Amino acid sequence: MKTGMNDMRRLMRLFRPYRIWVVGGIALGCVVILANVALLALSGWFIAGMALAGLGPQSISYFAPAALIRGLAILRTGARYGERLVTHEATLRFLAELRVWFYERLEPLGPAAMDSWRGGDLLARIRSDIDSLDNFYLRILAPVINALICSIVIVAGLALYDGRVAALDLVALLLAVLVIPLMVQKFAASAGRGLTEIRSALDSAATDTTRGLGELFVLGAFERQRARVLELGERLIAAQRRQMWVGAIGRALSGLVGNLAMWGALVLVIPLVAAGDMPGPQLAMLALWVLASFEAVAPLPMAFAAFGETAAAARRIFEIADATPAVRAPDAAIAKVPACFDLTLTDVSMRYRPESDWALQDFSLSLAEGESVGLVGESGAGKSTLLALVQRFREFQSGEITIGGVDLREISEATLRQTISVVAQRTHLFNASIRDNLLLAKPDASDDELHHALKLAGLEDEISNFPDGLDTLVGEVGTRLSGGQARRVAIARAFLRDARILLLDEPTEGLDADSEARVLEALGKLMQGKTTLLVSHWPRALAFVGRVEKVGHEPLHESRS
Ligand SMILES: Nc1ncnc2c1ncn2[C@@H]1O[C@H](COP(=O)(O)OP(=O)(O)OP(=O)(O)O)[C@@H](O)[C@H]1O
């Protein structure tokens, strides 16, 4: 609960830029509630007054009250419309900004973030957790503040007529504001937490299922996975049902308290009217006033029911926002730009966790600008780790890596990305056109440049034969392209970027001889004049580099020159 409140305070701070919208929405909400209470109380007084006038000798002027009733009805409707507009505008603006805020914090975590969070879980945080934060203002903050302000005004107004009725309403409202919502909160908190966790597990399972559909079918595990997803779906529905039940019971209890308070008011006021100490129409007015006052607190049980889910969602968002990035980019003021592109690693050691074995130990390697080196080593020797270190996706514990004599840690993220291109075994292609996938590497490239890059990558003819050419959609993770074609799209991207250092991670792995030959031909052109590190097991690929080094736990020794 304490962390929940802290997270809520933090959320409130994020709302600061929209405070005008927030305050405006709350003010309009108060107008709606107070106009409604006034409308009901006045109508009660007016109808009772008219009825009594019909029965007895006294007359009643109905113009002013009738006009006031109409005015209040229009005010209530207009304010309700405005309130919905303003509160939703505030929420949507906030959510849009929150997504950007979240991405800005997620990005520096880099690929290392995937060690701690699964892809589906991250997706759930970005999508459903952020979405469920719309509860915060619409269903929690605004109703609670409205309830507080309006309850005070309503009870103070009642006190002008009758202190005992005001006291009764105050007690009943406190019951509805504090006791019932707290009871609801107690039951809803666990349901809310469960809801967020199950939703995330379901998102992860659904993402895994779609990604691994092929493997699931081949291994005959589809039915088991399907049953798991269905089970999570049912648990999600059960948790949602529980949360709704708790909220609904709270609402019903608060309605019951409201009705009992109205009856209580009648019991208190009837003797006064009977004794002639209070005009008759005030009986109906006060009773309806008390009944209407519960409109102010009616949304609170739902607000408290939503608290658990919203607090859990906020916790999950802040957990990522507060995570320490695996690497720190240097301050712009001290960032340096390498003047040339030789690459040196000196006694570099890295382990993924303090308690783990070294993934790379005392590794040294030196490449002159334009030189190409092949890296070999048994599985788990640390070759991919080494490439990750050069790309600055991970921090290393000791040693030094320099580009053009500049410590890697002093090079800005932007400069580093411009300096290094990567072609890997797994090329991520987005479910978009070939053009869009290429433009990622150079957003302002003309069609001529794209065609030239494809030509250099040996893909131009095949793309021209597609009916839609550059506009051909590559399908989910590039499924409409062959493995070799996807690899050559990555090479075309590298041609477009024209970075001076090239990292090739098993670029021919899994290709047949024909595809391998085409990829290698393209790579041969790409490597021209570039400082290149090539990780590969394949002699045909290694034939393209100047020398080969072995990566292993023992200190470096040269295996072939
Ligand atoms: N994200 C990670 N978290 C923890 N340990 C890791 C992680 N990635 C790799 N390792 C460990 O670091 C060591 C080196 O792994 P790395 O992937 O760099 O080897 P590799 O030489 O590229 O192997 P392969 O040829 O099989 O790809 C291995 O012991 C591996 O288990």
Closest CA to 109 of 323, 384, 412: 323
pLDDT in tens, the chain (561 residues): 566 778 888 888 888 888 899 999 999 999 999 999 999 999 999 988 888 877 776 666 777 888 999 999 999 999 999 999 999 998 888 888 888 888 888 888 877 777 777 777 777 777 778 888 888 888 888 999 999 999 999 999 999 999 999 999 999 999 888 888 777 777 776 666 778 788 888 888 888 888 888 888 888 889 999 999 999 999 999 988 887 888 788 888 888 999 999 999 999 999 998 898 888 888 999 999 999 999 898 888 778 777 877 888 888 888 888 888 778 878 777 788 888 999 999 999 999 988 888 899 999 999 999 999 999 988 888 999 999 999 998 999 999 999 999 999 999 888 898 899 998 888 788 888 999 999 999 999 999 999 999 999 888 888 888 888 889 888 766 677 888 888 889 889 999 988 999 999 988 887 788 888 888 888 888 888 999 999 988 888 888 888 998 887 554 444 443
Closest ligand 1 atom to Cα of 386 = 18
Q: Is the ipTM of this complex over 0.90?
A: yes
DSSP letters spanning 82-101: HHHHHHHHHHHHHHHHHHHH
Closest ligand 1 atom to Cα of 114 = 1
Choice from 348, 383, 554 to test ligand 1 binding pocket (greatest atom count within 8 A of CB): 383
Q: Which domains occur in the chain, in start order?
A: 2-321 (1.20.1560.10), 343-560 (3.40.50.300)
Radius of gyration of the chain (CA): 34
Contact (CB, 8 A) for 423 and 499: no
Please name the residue whose Cα sits nearest to atom 2 of ligand 1: 352
Closest ligand 1 atom to Cα of 537 = 25
| H or E segment to which residue 73 belongs | helix 63-106
Measured CA to CA, the distance from residue 546 to residue 532 in angstroms comes to 10
Measured CA to CA, the distance from residue 391 to residue 21 in angstroms comes to 44
Q: Which two tokens stand for residue 179?
A: 């006791």
Is residue 154 in contact with ligand 1, taking CB distance under 6 Å?
A: no
Give the distance (Å) from ligand 1 centre to CA of residue 552. Answer: 12
Give the three-state DSSP class for 454. Answer: helix
Using CB atoms within 10 Å of the CB of residue 146, give its burial: 0 to 12 exposed, 13 to 18 middle, 19+ buried: buried
Is residue 377 in contact with ligand 1, taking CB distance under 6 Å?
A: yes
Please name the residue whose Cα sits nearest to atom 16 of ligand 1: 382
Is residue 486 in contact with ligand 1, taking CB distance under 6 Å?
A: no
- Classify strands 501-505 and 531-535 as parallel, antiparallel or unpaired: parallel
Is residue 352 in contact with ligand 1, taking CB distance under 6 Å?
A: yes
Apex CA 273: angle with CA 269 and CA 276, to 5°? Answer: 145
Give the distance (Å) from ligand 1 centre to CA of residue 332. Answer: 32
Please name the residue whose Cα sits nearest to atom 31 of ligand 1: 380
Measured CA to CA, the distance from residue 466 to residue 524 in angstroms comes to 26
Apex CA 526: angle with CA 417 and CA 546, to 5°? Answer: 100
Q: Which residues contact 334 (CB under 8 A, 6 or more apart)?
A: 410
Is residue 388 in contact with ligand 1, taking CB distance under 6 Å?
A: no
Give the distance (Å) from ligand 1 centre to CA of residue 385. Answer: 6
CB burial string 195-227: b at 16+ within 10 A, e below: bbbbbbbbbbbbbbbeeeeeebeeeeeeeebee
Is residue 40 in contact with ligand 1, taking CB distance under 6 Å?
A: no
Give the distance (Å) from ligand 1 centre to CA of residue 480. Answer: 30
Is residue 405 in contact with ligand 1, taking CB distance under 6 Å?
A: no
Is residue 379 in contact with ligand 1, taking CB distance under 6 Å?
A: yes
**Alpha-carbon dihedral of residues 141, 142, 143, 147, nearest 10 degrees?**
100
DSSP 469: G
Using CB atoms within 10 Å of the CB of residue 496, give its burial: 0 to 12 exposed, 13 to 18 middle, 19+ buried: buried
Contact (CB, 8 A) for 547 and 558: yes
Closest CA to 363 of 408, 405, 398, 395: 398
Give the distance (Å) from ligand 1 centre to CA of residue 403. Answer: 24
Handedness of CA 238, 239, 244, 247 (dihedral sign): positive
Contact (CB, 8 A) for 499 and 418: yes
